[in-house]
C-alpha cells in the first residue's frame, strides 16, 4: 500500500466521501446528484431542484453553480484555479517520501493540463495545440471516414450488437491511437485502462476503485515510457513524435500529456456518440429531419452536447478572496460548476429540456468548458461524432435498441456502458462525405 496513494485518496476522496455519506442520509440534493444511482440515471431533475433561484448554492463542503453566465464567468476568471486544496496535513518526513515517489501520470494530477494554471498550463498546452488546429483536424476527415466504414462493415447485417463496444468506443480510440503513434493491436488494452482510470474524475470514490485506477495509471506510465523511447529512436508522423523531437517536455511530462490526450480523445467522444444514438432513436421525428436535411448534422451534434453533455461538471478553487454572483468566497473555496446545468439554463436556451436539432443557439453550450482550459480536441470530437452518427443511421436505417441502455457507473464522465441493439438490414457499406 503506497503512502502517496493513501494521501491522494484521503485528500481528494476520503474526506469528501465521509461528508457525502452523511449528507446522503439526510437526503441532500448535492449528495444525491454526485453519490447515488439517481445522479447517474437522471441528474437533470436533481439539477433543476438545486438550481433554485440561481446564483451560487452552498453545500458542504463545496459551493455549486448551475447558471450558464455564472459558470462561464468562473471558467474564464483567473482568480479561480484548477488545483484541489490540501485537507490532510503531512509531516515533513512523509512529505519527503511523497516527493521522492511521484504519482504515475493521470488526467487529474499535475502536470496534467486539466489541473495546472498559468504559466505552466501554457507551457504544457502550446506544443500540443498545433495538432488540434482547424486545419490539422480537417486533415483527419478521410481517416475518420475510413475507420467508420471499416467498423460499420464489421457490424452484423440485420443482427444483434452492442453499439458501445462495437462502434461508439471504437471510432475515437482508433483515431487517438493513430494520433499518438500506438499500434492497432493495443486499442483494447487502452479501453480497459480507460475504464479503470476514468473514475478519478469523480469525487468521493472508494479506496478500492481509487487503488485500481492508480495501478492502471502505473501500467499506462510504464507502457508510455517504453513508447517514448521507441519514438526517440524511430520517430513517426504523430503528435508524440513531434513532442519528443521538440525536446520541450520531460519524459514524465510527455507521458502526462499522452495520458490526458488518450482520456480526453476517447472518453468524451464515446459518450457523445453513444448519447447521440439514444437521443435520435428516442426522437424519430428529429432523425427523419436529418435524413431529409443532412446539412443539419453538425447542429444536431451541438444539440446533443447541449442537452446531455458527456462531461457533467468540473470544479475550480478560489486563489484569493472573490466576490462573484452576489456571494463572497474565501480563498481555497471549491466551486463545482455544473456544465449540464448551464446547458439547460432557461435564461439562455428556450424550453431547455426539449431536444431540437434546429436550435439556433445550441452551440452556446459549455460542454467543452471555456477559458484557457477549453477542450483542445473539441473540433475533432465534433467531426468524429457527426460522421459516426450520420454513417450509422444511413447504413442501418432500421436500427433499434433491443433493451434499455446501461449507464456507466460514473457521475462526471456521463454516458452509456452498453447499448444493446438490432441493426436491421444494411443499406449501404460506404458513406460519401458531404
Q: Residue 309 belongs to a domain with what CATH number?
A: 1.10.630.10
> What angle is formed at CA 96 by the lines to CA 91 and CA 102, rounded to 5 degrees?
120
Greater model confidence, 433 or 22: 22
Residue 20 lies in a domain: no
The model's pTM is 0.94
Q: Which domain holds residue 262?
A: 54-86+105-422
pLDDT band at 176 (very low <50, low <70, confident <90, very high): very high
Residue 91 lies in a domain: no
pLDDT at residue number 100: 59
pLDDT band at 432 (very low <50, low <70, confident <90, very high): very low
Task: In whole angstroms, give the CA distance from residue 309 to residue 363.
Answer: 12
CB 148 within 8 A of CB 406: no
CB 361 within 8 A of CB 348: yes
What tens digit of pLDDT does each residue of 302-336 get? 999 999 999 999 999 999 999 998 999 999 999 99
pLDDT at residue number 430: 47
> Taking residues 195-215, what's their average pLDDT?
94
Residue 207 lies in a domain: yes
pLDDT band at 10 (very low <50, low <70, confident <90, very high): confident
CB 381 within 8 A of CB 270: no
Domain count, the chain: 1
pLDDT at residue number 130: 85
Closest CA to 313 of 23, 125, 118, 40: 40
Closest CA to 284 of 135, 367, 401: 401
Residue 9 lies in a domain: no
> Taking residues 61-69, what's their average pLDDT?
93
Give the three-class secondary structure for 76. helix
Residue 310 lies in a domain: yes
pLDDT at residue number 211: 95
C-alpha cell at 116: 495546472
Residue 221 lies in a domain: yes
Amino acid at each position: 500500500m503506497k503512502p502517496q496513494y493513501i494521501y491522494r485518496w484521503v485528500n481528494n476522496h476520503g474526506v469528501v466521501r465521509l461528508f457525502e455519506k452523511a449528507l446522503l442520509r439526510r437526503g441532500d440534493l448535492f449528495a444525491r446528484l454526485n453519490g447515488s444511482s439517481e445522479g447517474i440515471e437522471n441528474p437533470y431533475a436533481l439539477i433543476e431542484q438545486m438550481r433554485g433561484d440561481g446564483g451560487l448554492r452552498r453545500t458542504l463542503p463545496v459551493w455549486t453553480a448551475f447558471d450558464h453566465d455564472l459558470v462561464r464567468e468562473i471558467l474564464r476568471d483567473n482568480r479561480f484555479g484548477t488545483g484541489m486544496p490540501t485537507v490532510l496535513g503531512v509531516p515533513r518526513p512523509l512529505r519527503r517520501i511523497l516527493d521522492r515517489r511521484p504519482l504515475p501520470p493521470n488526467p487529474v494530477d499535475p502536470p496534467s493540463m486539466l489541473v495546472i494554471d498559468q504559466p505552466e498550463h501554457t507551457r504544457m498546452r502550446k506544443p500540443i495545440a498545433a495538432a488540434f488546429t482547424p486545419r490539422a483536424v480537417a486533415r483527419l476527415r478521410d481517416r475518420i471516414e475510413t475507420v467508420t466504414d471499416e467498423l460499420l462493415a464489421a457490424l452484423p447485417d440485420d443482427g444483434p450488437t452492442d453499439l458501445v463496444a462495437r462502434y461508439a468506443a471504437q471510432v475515437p480510440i482508433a483515431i487517438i491511437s493513430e494520433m499518438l503513434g500506438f499500434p492497432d493491436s493495443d486499442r483494447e488494452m487502452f479501453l480497459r485502462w480507460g475504464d479503470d482510470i476514468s473514475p478519478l474524475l469523480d469525487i468521493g470514490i472508494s479506496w478500492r476503485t481509487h487503488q485500481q485506477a492508480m495501478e492502471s495509471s502505473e501500467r499506462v506510465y510504464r507502457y508510455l515510457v517504453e513508447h517514448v523511447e521507441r519514438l526517440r529512436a524511430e520517430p513517426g508522423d504523430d503528435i508524440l513524435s513531434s513532442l519528443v523531437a521538440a525536446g520541450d517536455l520531460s519524459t514524465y511530462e510527455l507521458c502526462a500529456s499522452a495520458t490526458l490526450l488518450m482520456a480526453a480523445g476517447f472518453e468524451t467522444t464515446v459518450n457523445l456518440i453513444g448519447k447521440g444514438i439514444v437521443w435520435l432513436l428516442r426522437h424519430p421525428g428529429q432523425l427523419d429531419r436529418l435524413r431529409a436535411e443532412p446539412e443539419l448534422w453538425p447542429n444536431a451534434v451541438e444539440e446533443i452536447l447541449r442537452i446531455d453533455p458527456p462531461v457533467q461538471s468540473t470544479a475550480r478553487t478560489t486563489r484569493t478572496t472573490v466576490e462573484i454572483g452576489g456571494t463572497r468566497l474565501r480563498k481555497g473555496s471549491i466551486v463545482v460548476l455544473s456544465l449540464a446545468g448551464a446547458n439547460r439554463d432557461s435564461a439562455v436556451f428556450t424550453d431547455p429540456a426539449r431536444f431540437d436539432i434546429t436550435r439556433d443557439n445550441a452551440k452556446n453550450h459549455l460542454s467543452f468548458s471555456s477559458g484557457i482550459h477549453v477542450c483542445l480536441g473539441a473540433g475533432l470530437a465534433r467531426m468524429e461524432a457527426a460522421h459516426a452518427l450520420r454513417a450509422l443511421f444511413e447504413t442501418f436505417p432500421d436500427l433499434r435498441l433491443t433493451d434499455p441502455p446501461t449507464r456507466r457507473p460514473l457521475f462526471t464522465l456521463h454516458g452509456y456502458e452498453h447499448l444493446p441493439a438490432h441493426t436491421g438490414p444494411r443499406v449501404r457499406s460506404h458513406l460519401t462525405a458531404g
